[in-house]
Amino acid sequence: MTSLPVLPAIILDMVGAFTIIVLAFVSLRYAYLLSRREPENFLWGFLFYFCITLAVFAVSRAIGHLLKQILLMTGNKEQWSSLAPFSGGFNTLLMISLAAVTTYYHKGIEGYRAIQKKASSVRDANEQLEVAAEKLRKLNLNLEEMVEERTLELSISEKKFRNFFTNSKDMVYFCDSANKLVKMNPSGLEMLGYSVEDKPQLNMLEMFRNVEDMDHYFEKIISVGFVEDLEVEFVKADGTAMYVLLSATGIFDEDREFIGCEGIAKDLTRVRTMMEQLASSEKMASVGQMAAGVAHEINTPLGVILGYAQLMMDDFSPDSEEGQSLEVIECQTKACRKIVADLLKFSRQSESARENLLINEVLEDVLAVTEHSLNMDHIFVERDFEENLPEIVGDTAKLRQVFVNFINNAHHAMEKQAGSKLFISTHYEKETNRVVATVRDTGHGIPDDVRSKIFDPFFTTKPVGKGTGLGLSVSYGIIQEHEGVIEVESPVKIAGKEEKGTAFHVKLPAALREPVSVIN
């Protein structure tokens, strides 16, 4: 057999061993870098440890081959024979490790994939949690803004309600289940005659003047839940009555148990007074038309009766029975004619002489005639005339008649009260451009049931023979003819306190002042 040279094989073996070492360490470096870049990546971790085993195997195998060739070349074959089993066993062990690692790679990959899946689920869950957290954060921010906006809206609403509650000119109130007023606005307290500083403890049951109104109010609140536009009378702090238009709503809990109510009341006292005055005006207008017709019809036969009676008186002696009877006829006929004249004045059928006049002068003229008789009964007059009052347009004689009627009525109310006083005053109302003349007595006053009738024709509280009941009716007609108004006050309020007596306020429009001419 021809022998072949062994040196090339030996060199190739040594070069291959060295190359394996280089490649193993290069792979180890790349696996290390990959594992550092993605520490959580199972594949890169597996390759890193695989490359470590491979590098150890490459080094072990290369050293074994190099050591073998060196020992054989140096003639130490016996030493190699003793070391060869150990080198081969170590290399075999490393090969088995590599095989084991390679065999369990798929299991590792499956486990890694399972872990990745779990990790992906956890990551997705974390992402969802982050998204939810972001939504919650935004919602929290929006919620804070919404709460702030809602708080601002509630603040504005509460401010509007408070302004309405405080500034409303009507009565606004709240009461509890025991009908105790827990809150009432200042206007309501003022309407009832109470002061805000007093903090009165009021109850709805005490505010109603009539029991029937109170029962109807609470019956509607409990049965229907509300009451609307109910006209009732309330009792003020001083015991007087006031008319109100009441609307209220009941407040109930979840079990439909009554726990309180809230309501608004509008003062109708002035409206009621105006309605009564309007009704009285309409009634007197119709009575005036009737009176004018009756007066004209009666006036002619009364003149005939008076004329014939006076003619017949010339035929009989005044001391005779016939003469005395004719005197009675003449006297009573003249009385009837006076009543007819008053009826004509009441119906305003007579002409008026209009001129500019001063109300103070009219009152002085009237007092010049009546003051003496007042002083005879120890009634003293106190004047309070405002100076420089504007003029009014009117009939001096008729206005004198009006104030004479007022003073006579005051005289009659105080004739049995020695030391009484009659107050006559005038002033100017700039807001309404009216001149106001007031006649106030300190008499017994006018009862409530009589006050609405005092301007009715033929109504009088004087004994028979002392009054026809036409004085105030005629006065009312004259003031209406002058486009004025008469207001009656009884009892009279002086400095916030009520005093006994009656006051007639005559309000007449001031005359228009001529404009000043402008010369260019």
| Fold match, 273-346 / 355-509 | no
Q: What is the pLDDT of residue 408?
A: 84
Q: Which CATH number fits domain 355-509: 3.40.190.10, 3.30.565.10, 3.10.180.10, 3.40.50.300?
A: 3.30.565.10
pLDDT tens, position by position, 464-496: 445 555 667 777 778 888 888 888 888 888 877
What Rg value do the Cα atoms of the chain yield, rounded? Answer: 60
Residue whose C-alpha is closest to residue 438's, from 395, 391, 494:
494
Q: What is the pLDDT of residue 281?
A: 60
**Helix, strand, coil share of the chain (percent; to 5):** 60, 20, 25
| Distance (Å, whole) CA 396 – CA 410 | 21
CB neighbours (10 Å) of residue 477? 24
pLDDT (mean) for 91-117 = 68
Q: What is the pLDDT of residue 514?
A: 47
CATH of domain 168-267: 3.30.450.20
Higher-pLDDT residue of 407, 293: 407
Q: Is the pLDDT of residue 287 over 80?
A: no
Q: Is the pLDDT of residue 50 over 80?
A: no
DSSP H or E stretch at residue 138: helix 105-167
Q: What is the pLDDT of residue 72?
A: 64
Higher-pLDDT residue of 320, 454: 320
pLDDT (mean) for 208-237 = 83
Contact present, 212 and 139 (Cβ < 8 Å): no
Domain boundaries, the chain: 7-103, 168-267, 273-346, 355-509
CB neighbour list of residue 496: distance below 8 Å, 6 or more residues apart: none
Higher-pLDDT residue of 200, 479: 479
pLDDT (mean) for 425-439 = 90
| Distance (Å, whole) CA 501 – CA 486 | 17
Q: What is the pLDDT of residue 515?
A: 39
Contact present, 174 and 260 (Cβ < 8 Å): yes
Q: Which two tokens stand for residue 46?
A: 């597996």
Q: What is the pLDDT of residue 436?
A: 92
Q: Is the pLDDT of residue 70 over 80?
A: no
Higher-pLDDT residue of 520, 393: 393
Higher-pLDDT residue of 178, 88: 178
Give the highest mean pLDDT range of 153-157, 197-201, 277-281, 397-401: 397-401
Mean pLDDT for all residues in the chain? 76
Q: What is the pLDDT of residue 451?
A: 63
Residue whose C-alpha is closest to residue 55's, from 26, 24, 80:
24
| Distance (Å, whole) CA 296 – CA 303 | 11
pLDDT class of 426 with cuts at 50, 70, 90:
very high
pTM above 0.85, yes or no: no
**Check: CATH 3.30.530 for 273-346?**
no
pLDDT (mean) for 126-147 = 78
In this structure, what are the phi and psi dihedrals at residue 394, rounded to the nearest 5 degrees?
A: -175, 180
Higher-pLDDT residue of 111, 151: 151
| Distance (Å, whole) CA 402 – CA 393 | 15
Of the given ranges (77-91, 124-138, 181-195, 434-448), which has the lowest mean pLDDT? 77-91
Give the highest mean pLDDT range of 53-62, 98-107, 487-496: 487-496
Mapping DSSP onto H, E and C, the string for 142-176 reads: HHHHHHHHHHHHHHHHHHHHHHHHHHCCCEEEEEE
pLDDT (mean) for 443-468 = 62
Residue whose C-alpha is closest to residue 456's, from 474, 444, 443:
474
Q: What is the DSSP letter of 465?
A: T
Cα angle 336, 337, 343 (rounded to 5 degrees) comes to 90
| Distance (Å, whole) CA 396 – CA 216 | 54
Q: Is the pLDDT of residue 356 over 80?
A: yes
